[in-house]
Amino acid sequence: MQRNATTRYPILLVHGLFGFERIGRFELFHDVKQALRDVGNRVFVPQLSATHDNEVRGQQLLMQIDRVLAGTGASKVNVIGHSQGALACRYAAALAPEKVASVTSVSGPNHGSEVADLLRKALVPGQIPERTAHEIATQFANFLTLLSGRRTLPQNAVAALGALTREGVSQFNRTYPQGLPTTWGGQGAEVVDGVRYYSWSGVLPAAPTENLLEFNPVHRVCRVLSRHFTVEAGQNDGFVGRYSSHLGSVIRSDYPFDHMDSLRRTHGPSIDPIELYVEQALRLRAADL
């Protein structure tokens, strides 16, 4: 029997750093968008700068929220942000809470990323061991070669990287603290200024099979980057630490996913990441959002 997971307000799926349309055969948000539409939702995917700071991307999101509201006649939207997209969603909700019904952070670096810290330091010679800097820079470059998409909006990779470091996000959080936990690893306020806040994320599962490493290059990159976490060693998805992702009502932060698994269907016996978005739509519907 088809579940009724139609939300009151339209849903916007907001991409993160180096937002793209496809990785090989994989279209970003394709499965998520289709699953949400299948249960009756109006779903939109705004295009933000692939690389820029949180405020610039947040302003772009606000403009596209206005377009969705004008086009649909809705009074608010539900925003779901993946990775850095969560920070753009938080910015929009802070500046225009009357237009945002809910913010859902999926694998969002709400307290910054240790990988961003290391990558930022790698831009300054002598700050970290050369071998470490070389490995991180190489793996990150390998990851970027997998990404493609439009680059019509302004881009600033250095600003984006700085905005994702723990220091950069800490500064952002001082201005936009809505939904943040008051204790490390805790939950934040679920409702702030009439906006509901939710989050979920994953950690890398046990050592993968050779087949997974061979046929999933993104997972391989996440594995390598994961080695450089210290604060959340063994408790991260390759880009974002488990507790760094916490925001508002934490649905769960240890799903067996790498950073990109939270956007696609996995082929193993574990939890279907796409089903989580349908469950969230049901949750929003129950809250009359």
Instruction: Give the active site residues.
Output: 83, 237, 259
Element (DSSP H or E) covering residue 118: helix 114-122
Distances (CA, A) of 190 to 121, 260, 275: 35, 25, 22
Q: Which two tokens stand for residue 269?
A: 């016996």
Task: Give the SS3 label for residue 40.
Answer: coil
249-255 and 195-202 strand pairing: parallel
Distances (CA, A) of 91 to 108, 154, 184, 227, 285: 13, 18, 21, 31, 23
- CA atoms of 83 and 286, how far apart (whole Å): 25
What count of other Cβ atoms lies within 10 Å of the Cβ of residue 177?
14
The C-alpha angle 35, 242, 25, rounded to 5 degrees, equals: 40
